[in-house]
Amino acid sequence: MVLLKAAAVALLAIVVSAKPHEKPHGHGPSSWKNNIKNVVVLVQENRSFDTLAGGFTYSHDIDGMVGRRFCNPLNVSFPLENITCADKLAPANDIANDDPNHSITGTSFGLYSTYHPDEKLIKKGHLKPNLLGFLTEQQVSNKHPGNATRASEILNYYTAAHIPVFEDMAKNYVLFDKWFCDVPGPTNPNRAYITSGTSHGHGSNDAGFNYGGLPQKSIFQQLSENNITWINYSNSSTNPNGVNKPGQKAKGFNPDAVFYNWTISSGAIDTNVKFLSEFYNDAANGTLPQFTYINPECCSYQSMHPPSPISMGENFIKGLYEALRNGPQWNETLFIVTFDEGGGFADHVAPPVNVPAGDSLTYTELAHDGKNATFDFTRLGVRVPTILLSPWVGKGIIEHEGKNKGRTYSHSSIPAFLAELWDLDNLTPRTAWSSTFEHLFLKKPRTDTPATLPEANSF
């Protein structure tokens, strides 16, 4: 397949030198730090911004799909033939027909129309994403050759009627339309960036994530060392404490805190990793820790990862929100809802390149064409839908890149924000670079935040 010339302008990131263990790029003491005492993070699965939020019409400020022509050829080798353009999913499927290829090489193909984009040319600005390979990769990887109708699910997007819960949250709080996943690849490397600012050279969901395989310092370790309370609530495994331990039959996936060796060696696996059912009791009783991290079930009914139904994921989010909103800690809570990665689904915004990697490690994988590809973690993945919910943020706000010049939001913005909030060191160069969002907090809490969200819509 030929590598096409760029048909879209890439969003280039300016590399800002920042040492990983310097204090974060803050603005000095501020009263907002006294207002936010509890941070709750939910990481859902595998939806790009465009596929989930691109169809929102309530604000013209959203960089989405409404009124936009975004097209891909069925075969990038013949770029002017069999063109399919993104449209509303009609009919939409509550359960996606296919799980798109979301490996690093698969995502690279969607962005650059090749499994092997020249990283040197990318760094020099001579190779920009053309965003034309999503449709080709979908019909090849899911073995529907020539079936543009089936493959077009990767381009198309839901409407507000399909996702009333998510739209209502966005309309009532802060929606980010320039929040990128840290790795143009699968789940666990991105979850590692969320929780430690690096994947330690892992680019696939390999065995290193199973049980204490990652050696780097995580936010969980950092919080404990600074006497900040935390719990990783999880629905991802049905074994005791929601953890698959060595020698046990794996039942689902391990919670993200269990990625890290420190969680095992310190004993935090037994004290700070709990079943999700305990979250609802703690929220009702006002005993949530300062930092709450939630793993959904994956990947059949709750996380939105295909084949999880969209409506069941919405119902899950609704239940979490209402538990927080109607609990005694709401007035001091920030709830962050995001998605680990785009899941191979298309997005029309080119991800930033030339960004600081979390460390110096690289990753090599075998691409679909039988050749190796090496990745150095200096370019981000696609945008993912992200919402801030709190009585301390405005209503209907659309947030773009943020106020940190030359930077943007990525999943590493979460540990970067925690560093701002609790005066911690940045964990890695990526967290030091990523934008933070404390400028979005109000001086007084709102009293009009909805106590309930709409019912999810099965379709």
Structure tokens at 409: 């939001």
Main-chain dihedrals φ then ψ at residue 441, nearest 5 degrees: -80, 140
Residue 262, Cα to own-chain centre: how many angstroms?
A: 24
> Using alpha carbons only, how large is the chain's radius of gyration in Å?
21
pLDDT (tens place) for every residue of the chain, 459 residues total:
333 333 333 333 333 344 554 444 444 446 899 999 999 999 999 999 999 999 999 999 999 999 999 999 999 999 999 999 999 988 788 998 889 999 999 999 999 999 999 999 999 999 999 999 999 999 888 887 888 888 999 999 999 999 999 999 999 999 999 999 999 999 999 999 999 999 999 999 998 898 999 999 999 999 999 999 999 999 876 666 667 778 666 667 789 999 999 999 999 999 999 999 999 999 999 999 999 999 999 888 899 999 999 999 999 999 999 999 999 999 999 999 999 999 999 999 999 999 999 999 999 999 999 999 999 999 999 999 999 999 999 999 999 988 878 899 999 999 999 999 999 999 999 999 999 999 999 999 999 999 999 999 998
Inter-CA distances, 430 with 11, 121, 350, 447, Å: 17, 22, 19, 36
Which of 3.20.20.70, 3.30.160.150, 3.90.550.10, 3.40.720.10 would CATH assign to domain 32-65+158-368+377-440? 3.40.720.10
Largest CA distance in the chain: 61
Comparing C-alpha atoms, which of 90, 56, 278, 285 is closest to residue 169? 56
Residue pointed to by tokens 């600081």: 356
